[in-house]
Chains A and B, each alone.
Chain A
C-alpha cells in the first residue's frame, strides 16, 4: 500500500479564513458559482464584434445572458464592487474595463472609494499598508 497523506487541510477552516480579510472577496467556489453567467458575459467581450454590440446597446446585450437584473445594473453602472458581490472576478471583469479602454489601476482605484488622483498618489508613496487590514476578527 502506498503511503497515505498524514496532514490534510480542513476545508471548512480554510474557507472560513477566506472570509476574514477586510475589504476583500476571495473568488471561492461559492462566488464562482454565483457569478458564472456574469463572468462568462465578461469573457464574451474578448471578441471585437461583441464589444461593438455591447457598447451599442448595453441593456439589450446583457438581456441575452442569464444574469440577475441587479447584476446587470451593476455592469451598466460600472460598479465593480457590486459586480464582485454578484460573483464577478476581477480578471473576468477586466474584459469590461478594457472594453471601456480603462486600466487596471482605474478599476482597482474605483473600488476603494478614493479619487483616482488620491489612489495613484497612495500607490506612488508605497501603496496601502497591511496594518490593521489583515484580519477582521483578529483586528491586526
Chain B
C-alpha cells in the first residue's frame, strides 16, 4: 500500500526562484539559504528517500484562482499542471506532472471523510507550488517525482482554521494508506514563516514565534492546531497565516515524529524561512548532520 513516509516544510517565495535563475544562489545574500537547503537536496536524491508522489500543500497567489472562485481546499487531479504567468511570464521550469489515480483516490476519500474538496482538472500552478520543487530538486529537465497540488485559500478571509487543516492532514494520510499501489508519498507544507508584505507594518519578522512554532509543530501539534488566526496575524504578520498549511503536513504524520533536519533563516527577502524534514518516529531514518541550522539576521552575530 501507499505510505506517507515524510513531511517536509519549505518556503515558497518567488525571490528564491529569481536567485536561481539569475545565478545569485551562491552570493553573500542567498548563499546561506541555498547552503541550508543543500542538505535536504542531498538527502532527498537518495533512492530510499525520493518520493514517488508529493502531495504539495500551498496557497495559490491569485493565479489559478481569482476573486471569482475561492475554494478553501482544492486538489489537482489532472495529468499535468503548467507554470502560471504571474505577471513576469511563466517560471522557466518543467510542467508539474500529476498522479491522477492517487489524486482522485484522495479526493474521493476526503469527501467521504467530510472534507468537501474542490476538484481541479485544469489548473496552472504558481510559485507557491513550483518554488519548493526548485528548492528540493534544483533545475532538472523534468521533476523527479509526481506531484498532487493541493491549494489552500489563505488570502481571502477567513482561511481554514488550524484545527481544520490538522484534521485534513489526518484524512489525507488515511486516504493514502488505502491506496493499493506501493508508493512512497511525501506531504509538503509550504509558505511562511513570519512575514508581512503590506502596509506600514511590512517587514515584520518574529523569530521567537517562529522557533516556538517549529518546536510545537514537532512536539505538540494538537495544541498548536488550536492557535486562532488572530495570533498568527498579530505575531507572525499578515502573510504569516500561511503557516496553517504546515498543520496539514503535520496532520498527515503520526503523533510522534523525529525531525531529521531543522533549518531556519532570516531574512529571505521579506520573510523568515523554515525548512524541516519530519518522519514518523517508528520508521524514521537517521538525522542529518548538522541536524539544526540557524542562519542570517541576528544569528550572524550570536
Binding site for B on A (CB under 8 A): 9, 14, 17-18, 21-29, 32, 36, 39-40, 42-43, 45-48, 51, 80-81, 84, 89-92, 94-99, 101, 103-105, 107-109, 111-113, 119, 122-130, 133-135
| Nearest CB of A to B17, in Å | 12
Closest to A35 in B: B67
Q: Which single member of A23, A32, A94, A124 contacts B87 (CB below 8 Å)? A: A94
Q: Which residues of A contact B205 (CB under 8 A)?
A: 123, 126-129
Contact B196 A24 (CB under 8 A): yes
Cβ contact within 8 Å between B88 and A98: yes
Number of contact residues on B: which range applies?
35 or more
Pick from A29, A95, A105: contact of B156, CB below 8 A.
A29
Q: In the complex, which of the residues A22, A105, A112, A130 contacts B235, with contact meaning CB atoms closer than 8 Å?
A: A130
Nearest A residue to B205 via CB reads A127
Question: In the complex, how many angstroms separate the beta carbon of B89 from the nearest chain A beta carbon?
Answer: 7
Q: How far is the CA of A135 from the CA of B86 in the complex (A)?
A: 33
Contact, CB under 8 Å: A95 / B62: yes
Check if A134 sits within 8 Å of B235, measured CB to CB.
Answer: yes
Say which residue of A95, A101, A111, A124 sits within 8 Å of B86 (CB atoms): A95
A130 touches B206 (CB 8 A): yes
- Mostly helix, strand, loop or mixed at chain A's interface? helix
Assembled-state Cα–Cα distance A138/B252 (Å)? 37
Q: Can you list 7 residue pairs at the A/B interface with Cβ under 8 Å?
A: A23-B201, A26-B157, A29-B157, A48-B85, A92-B66, A94-B87, A123-B267
Find chain A residues with CB under 8 A from B209 CB. Answer: 130
Contacts of B62 in A (CB 8 A): 39, 42-43, 89, 91-92, 94-95
Q: Is the CB of B267 within 8 A of A124?
A: yes
| One of B13, B67, B203 near A112 (C-beta < 8 A) | B203
Q: B206 — which chain A residues lie within 8 A by C-beta? A: 129-130
Q: Is the CB of A103 within 8 A of B157?
A: no
Q: How far is A91 from B67 in the complex, measured between Cα atoms in Å? A: 11
B238 touches A26 (CB 8 A): yes
Q: A23-B200, A36-B67, A135-B234 known; 10 other A-B pairs, CB under 8 Å?
A: A9-B161, A24-B198, A26-B233, A80-B198, A89-B156, A91-B61, A111-B202, A122-B203, A123-B269, A134-B235
B119 interface hit (Cβ, 8 Å): no
Quick one: which of B67, B84, B158, B228 has the most chain A CB within 10 A? B67
Interchain CB contact under 8 A, A84 and B270: no
Does B277 touch A at the CB level, under 8 Å? no
From known contacts A27-B157, A113-B200, infer whether A51 and B297 are also in contact, taking CB-CB under 8 Å: no
With A94-B62, A134-B234, A134-B235 as known contacts, state yes or no: A108 contacts B86, CB within 8 Å. Answer: no
Asked whether A104 lies within 8 Å of B201 as measured between CB atoms, the reply is no
Across the interface, do B202 and A109 meet the contact criterion of CB distance under 8 Å?
yes
Contact B266 A81 (CB under 8 A): no
Determine whether the beta carbon of B266 is less than 8 Å from that of A126.
yes
Chain B residues with Cβ under 8 A from A98's Cβ?
86-88
CA distance A84 to B67 in the complex (A): 15
Asked whether, in the complex, the Cβ of A108 is within 8 Å of the Cβ of B270, the reply is: yes
Q: Tell me whether B131 is interfacial, beta carbon within 8 Å.
A: no
Given A84-B198, A107-B197, A111-B199: A126 in contact with B267 (beta carbons within 8 A)? yes
Interface positions of B from 225 to 241, Cβ below 8 Å from A? 228-230, 233-235, 238-239
Question: Does B108 reach chain A (CB closer than 8 Å)?
Answer: no
Min CB distance A99 to B, Å, is 5
Quick check: is B71 within 8 A (CB to CB) of the other chain?
A: no
- The smallest C-beta distance from A122 to any residue of chain B, in angstroms, reads 6
| A46 and B63 form a contact (CB under 8 A) | yes
B60's nearest neighbour on chain A, judged by CB, is A91
Most A CB atoms within 10 A — which of B14, B66, B194, B266?
A: B66
